[in-house]
Amino acid sequence: MNRVWPEVARTAGRLTLGAFLCAAGIGHLLVPQEFLGQVPTWLPARLPIVLVSGVVELGLGGALIGLRRHRVVLGWIAAAFLVLVFPGNIYQAVAGTDAFGLRTDAARWGRLLFQPLLVAWALWATGAWAARQPPQARP
């Protein structure tokens, strides 16, 4: 019985993360202007970047929900995606851009603290961190 609850918690965490990513992806597609504040103004094709990231979030979220057998690989992919979008969050904080409901410096900088937690969540909820291979001992 004690071994069942951690698996139930991880499954709930994976499904919740998948739903969160789906919701974020839908937001990127429905109100992309809210996400432009996270894309540096010096980058070309800012709107397509937002739209593509939304499609990726939607696909990744759906995969986390529906492809249980591939959860470990998806956990690493989700963690990598969350690391890859982190510079956009840093840009928003440094530039002081009001977007995505973040209208104060405290909110923009505070959000940065949560990105590592999202990465950890992805690795824990999918079992990716637990499934990693330990380094082989060298003779």
Distance CA 59, CA 8 (A): 23
More confident site: 132 or 57: 57
Mean pLDDT of 43-54: 92
The fraction of the chain above a pLDDT of 70, given in percent, is 94
pLDDT at 55: 96
Helix (H) or strand (E) holding 6: helix 4-30
pLDDT, tens only, 79-103: 999 999 999 889 988 988 888 778 8
Mean pLDDT of the chain: 89
pLDDT at 75: 95
pLDDT at 139: 56
pTM to 2 decimal places: 0.83
pLDDT at 79: 96
pLDDT, tens only, 112-136: 999 999 999 999 999 988 877 666 6
What letters, b where the CB count within 10 A reaches 16 and e where it falls short, cover 49-83?
Answer: bbbebbebbbebbebbbeeeeebbebbbbbbebbe
When pLDDT is cut at 50, 70 and 90, the band that residue 138 belongs to is low
**Residues with Cβ < 8 Å from 126, sequence gap 6 or more?**
10, 14, 64, 71, 72, 74, 75, 76, 78
pLDDT, tens only, 4-25: 778 889 999 999 999 999 999 9
For residue 113, what are its two tokens?
Answer: 């603290």
For residue 57, what are its two tokens?
Answer: 């979030």
pLDDT at 70: 93
